[in-house]
């Protein structure tokens, strides 16, 4: 690995608390760019704007999705800002590069009835898996946690009777999320007093806690048990369902931003479609001119 890339990854880990998977993704993206530039007589550290523009164009020509190209451009931008900050080079060759236009995508939220069916079905999985799956579905839906945040929760959160618990999210940032009485009861039922652990969901693996892969497997089995398409039932889908259903019932975007741990309100605004639907329904229900067939005062009453 190039020494500059290695230094950049070390900075991400030390200063931003980047997870192992995040570091691996950055390394892959930067090494791919470096390999492309080497074939054209450039190095990544000394890359020109034209060389990088050609690299991004080659990704599109190879059929990579716009979102993938945008992610690689983001990795390059952060890398060259790091080089500039360290005094390795005086300019940023990515400054004038345009990101590909991304299609607007809406969250794939489950309906409220589907979430209830999922939780009920999860409880009927064989053995202790049912209790665990139901508790995880309950917590994902009532707290809006990311998968990585859920599996690494400490068991100590059950010692506090507060309706809000502290979780550590992206970049090591802490935030408060709700823990409903129903979710708390479900979580307590998963604990084995004979095998105390520092983790809420302990495992024999190297990390000591359940992996995201195991979580995905539990959700898949729960979805099948509930008669739902497993592709629609993911930790991300339940997080989106948490957000969409809160907004539909009257929550505001700023509160949702805090609960989801979004650094920028612009990220939370992907849910504005829910607000638009709510406002349209309010107008159609309450506005006097929203009736499809207004009654004329001069019209004779129906026979």
Span 42-95, pLDDT tens digits: 999 999 999 999 999 999 889 888 888 989 999 999 999 999 999 999 999 998
Query: Which among 4, 72, 146, 184 is annotated as catalytic?
Result: 146
Active site residue 239: yes
Where does residue 200 rank: exposed (0-12), middle (13-18), buried (19+ CB within 10 A)?
buried
Q: Residue 172: what pLDDT? A: 79
- The residues spanned by each domain of the chain are 3-85, 112-241
CB 254 within 8 A of CB 269: no
Give me the residues of the chain with pLDDT under 50, please. Answer: 295, 297, 303
pLDDT attached to residue 160 = 76
Q: Of residues 129, 170, 220, 273, which has the active-site annotation?
A: 170
Alpha carbon distances (Å) from 24 to 9, 21, 91, 263:
9, 5, 26, 23
Instruction: Decide if 111 is catalytic.
Output: no
User: Which residue in the list 38, 67, 188, 236 is annotated as catalytic?
Assistant: 236
CB 258 within 8 A of CB 175: yes
State residue 287's pLDDT score: 67
Assess whether 271 carries a catalytic annotation.
yes
Q: Topology of 112-241 in CATH?
A: hpI Integrase; Chain A (1.10.443)
Among 120, 235, 242, smallest CA distance to 186 is for 120
Catalytic residue flag (residue 182): no
pLDDT of residue 297: 47
């Amino acid at each position: 690995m190039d020494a500059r890339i290695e230094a950049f990854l070390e900075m991400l880990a030390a200063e931003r608390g980047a997870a192992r998977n995040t570091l691996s993704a950055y390394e892959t993206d930067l090494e791919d760019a470096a390999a492309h530039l080497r074939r054209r007589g450039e190095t990544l550290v000394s890359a020109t704007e034209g060389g990088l523009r050609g690299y991004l164009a080659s990704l599109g020509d190879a059929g990579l999705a716009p979102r993938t190209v945008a992610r690689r451009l983001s990795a390059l931008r952060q890398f060259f800002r790091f080089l500039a900050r360290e005094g390795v080079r005086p300019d940023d060759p990515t400054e004038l590069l345009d990101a590909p236009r991304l299609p607007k995508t809406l969250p794939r939220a489950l309906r409220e009835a589907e979430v209830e069916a999922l939780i009920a079905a999860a409880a009927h999985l064989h053995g202790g898996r049912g209790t665990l799956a139901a508790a995880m579905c309950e917590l994902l839906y009532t707290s809006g946690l990311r998968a990585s945040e859920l599996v690494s929760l400490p068991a100590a959160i059950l010692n506090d009777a507060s309706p809000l618990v502290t979780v550590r999210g992206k970049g090591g940032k802490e935030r408060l999320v709700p823990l409903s009485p129903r979710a708390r009861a479900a979580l307590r039922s998963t604990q084995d007093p004979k095998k105390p652990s520092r983790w809420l969901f302990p495992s024999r693996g190297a990390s000591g806690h359940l992996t995201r892969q195991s979580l995905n497997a539990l959700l898949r089995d729960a979805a099948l048990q509930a008669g739902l398409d497993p592709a629609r039932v993911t930790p991300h889908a339940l997080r989106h369902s948490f957000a969409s259903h809160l907004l539909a019932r009257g929550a505001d975007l700023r509160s949702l931003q805090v609960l989801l741990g979004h650094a920028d309100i612009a990220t939370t605004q992907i849910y504005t479609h829910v607000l638009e639907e709510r406002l349209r329904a309010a107008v159609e229900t309450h506005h006097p001119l929203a009736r499809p067939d207004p009654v004329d005062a001069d019209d004779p009453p129906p026979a």
